[in-house]
Chains A and B, each alone.
Chain A
Amino acid sequence: MKFVDEFRDPEQSYALLNRIRATATREWVLMEVCGGQTHSLLRYGIDVELSGVVELIHGPGCPVCVTDIAAIDHAIELAHRPQVLLASFGDMLRVPGSQGSLLTARADGANVMMVYSPLDAVRYAEVHPSLNVVFFAVGFETTAPATALALLQAQKLGLRNFSLLVSHVRVLPAMETLIQAPENRVQGFLAAGHVCCVTGFAEYENFVRRFRVPVAVTGFETLDLLQGILDCVTQLESGVAKVHNCYSRSVQRTGNQHAIDVIERVYEIDTRVWRGFGPVTSGGYSIRPELQEFDASHRFNLKSFATNNVAKDIEQYSQCRAGDVLSGRLKPCECPEFRKTCTPETPLGAPMVSSEGACAAYEKFHPRVQL
């Protein structure tokens, strides 16, 4: 398949692997920020191939995983209200809140619909004027332009029965939180390629200057990942800390201006609670006040969940160590609950069920003991 197979070429992948091995004089600790990268690394066993050369710590870049439990609880509560239909991406439906997931809520009679695109939810609202359609908008800067466009489309159509329950997150503030944590071990970052498609990487130039840590903007195929790792290792070996674009077929320094404009028309930067992190300053987006009629938390009078501490309390009392996993302090396979009390059928936390979750990646690709 064009534009995929070229970037999975085994011969070139092995050549890059050997170059990484030849370049590293010691073991370096890198974090791949995005959950999609985690899955690719484990799917191809790159973590195994580089054992002793590069330790890969898995980052927080799974939008579903970092969504605050309180936000999911709000979504479930809305879905149970009469004449409300809650729509979201399939990935979001299995993620547990404090009392089950949107899927279990649907089994309990809540009105929950899976959509492929936020615009599908707008269309549904248009055809069903008697229903209040709420789209649960989760995701990084990658997804925010699409949900913003949905809102603008609803506004253009004059729909009064469409709103967004927003839990969008921004990736760079979380990286800043991670690197400043006292127990941080990360020496270089593979930045999330698809986030950078939207935002560009100019902002990262400040980040590398401030924290003296190399950043490689990295894609998702084997060659992309190995190129990003090689770049970071080369920088570390020569004592350099710069931003390099290793995903230039998709990413430009200034990003996608049209997408940025759409985000800015609809959203403003806000503090947001991240699962595992707590409140992250500038860590998310909220709907601008002038568009609040499309904000589900305003329309349905939900208590603000942007900065509450409910999630932290819940996590404290549960056995789930998602916070440690999401901040790179714990590998999923080191968690005492992994594959024991925590399985895809009975997840203790989101990383076990999201398709980009680190625990799900280990559940899928990490060898089991003998049968």
Chain B
Amino acid sequence: MKHLSDWSLNCPILISADAERISLAHGEGARLSRRLISETILPRVASAEHTAFTDAAKVTAIGCRLAICTDSHTVSPMFFPGGDLGSLSVYGTVNDLAVAGAYPRWLTLSLIIEEGLPKVILETILDSVARAARECRVSIVAGDTKVVPRGAVDGLFITTSGVGEFMDPIPPGPGAIQVGDQILVSGPLGRHGIAVMSARGGFTLDAASVSDSGSVFPIVTALRDSVGEHLRAIRDATRGGVSAVLQEWSQASGLTFTLTEANLPITDGVRGACELLGLDPLYVANEGTIVVAIDASYAQAAITALRSVPGCDRAAIIGEVQPAGISPLTIRRAFGPPRPLDEPSGAPLPRIC
């Protein structure tokens, strides 16, 4: 059972009690469906060349090597400091293409809407989708809409599939990582996770965090243009944080990744919230921050290139690759011997005391 107060939780939009809501009829293929698509969705998100979504969009690719990816997006609350579900669903897919070494070109947009969602929320989210797509220069060329009964989904789920064209050079991937390589991040860690967690929890942590939700394409481009041939692997550190990426890379390469705690870029707000909640920023989600493995000789040049990108002034070398040791990941803290850094098994849950 959903109350009005649940919908408006942290939502920046004022919703009146008699606000127009999405009903099951909007999803049943008849007049209301057609009007929802033609009056609410298409005018907001359709690209100039694809003003009507046909069964399949025709596109023309320049190159012949295409990257295809898909990602489903759900976030509670739908609006959080620094972003919302709409922009997130574009950036998430665009970022998957970008870190694979592809230029994002086309997106499909699939909406699963919970019956009763105030229409103004849908419109606001769609406007955000459109803004993010324009920023990423990606065209939304096809889509689908379903409305499901109350309780079947949490408000709105968005799936976007992306098609991109590969550009040279393509990073070879974690299998190419070697002993001595350096590990870089493009900005402060854990900002998205803490922003969402504080919005969700409703606790008031003064300026705890603003999400880093954004496109990493400019970041990847800056790296490729400067040190492209020396990159080993690039990933956006989403759920599971930087730790999850490095655990995977350790498995792929059979090597140990050693981080230096003092070098981790972390904002005061994220650090404070993590200290308070008993979390580690290395495990907390990012939505616009990448991890890079690179030949050590080019690490400094990569940092210079990264810092030239707006918002990446805190890019840093956070660790190095070593022969297999006591753990896939280890960390050097200011005090004490290097310690293993484990892999969390589920979402971080705040502690009691």
Using a CB–CB cutoff of 8 Å, the interface residues on chain A facing chain B are 1, 4, 8, 10, 13-14, 36, 42-46, 48-49, 63-64, 89-94, 114-117, 120, 127-128, 130, 138-140, 142-143, 194, 222, 343-345, 354-356, 363-368, 370-371
Contact = CB atoms under 8 A, between A and B. Distances in A.
Interface residues of B, number: 36
Interface stretch (B10-18, B187-195, B333-341): B333-341
B351 A345 contact: no
B350 A90 contact: yes
B3 A128 contact: yes
Contacts of A10: 334-335
Interface in B1-57: 1, 3, 5
B336 A368 contact: no
Given A365-B342, A371-B254, 17 more contacts: A1-B275, A8-B334, A44-B335, A44-B339, A92-B352, A93-B349, A114-B349, A116-B277, A127-B5, A139-B353, A142-B353, A343-B345, A344-B344, A354-B351, A364-B342, A370-B325, A371-B327
Given A116-B203, A371-B254, A371-B256, A44 B336 contact: yes
A365 B352 CA distance: 20
Contacts of A127: 3, 5
Contacts of A94: 346, 349
Nearest to A347: B345
A73 to B, nearest CB: 19
B353 A370 contact: no
B351 A89 contact: yes
Given A91-B350, A116-B203, A8 B335 contact: yes
Q: Summarize B's interface: helix, strand, loop or mixed.
A: loop
A222 B335 contact: yes
B353 A368 contact: no
A115 B350 CA distance: 9
A356 B352 contact: yes
A367 B256 CA distance: 12
Nearest to A367: B326
Contact of A89 (B336, B337, B339, B350): B350
Given A194-B353, A344-B345, A48 B337 contact: yes
Given A116-B203, A355-B278, A371-B324, A140 B353 contact: yes
Given A1-B271, A116-B201, A366-B340, A143 B335 contact: no
A91 B352 contact: yes
B272 interface: yes
Contacts of B123: none
B161 to A, nearest CB: 28
A345 B345 CA distance: 6
Contacts of B277: 116
Contacts of B351: 89-91, 354-356
A120 B324 contact: no
Given A1-B271, A127-B3, A367 B352 contact: no
30 contacts: A4-B275, A10-B335, A36-B353, A44-B335, A44-B339, A45-B339, A48-B336, A63-B352, A63-B353, A89-B350, A89-B351, A90-B349, A90-B350, A90-B351, A91-B352, A94-B349, A116-B350, A120-B202, A130-B1, A138-B352, A139-B353, A140-B353, A142-B353, A355-B349, A355-B351, A363-B342, A364-B340, A368-B326, A368-B340, A371-B328
B144 interface: no
Nearest to A92: B352
B64 to A, nearest CB: 39
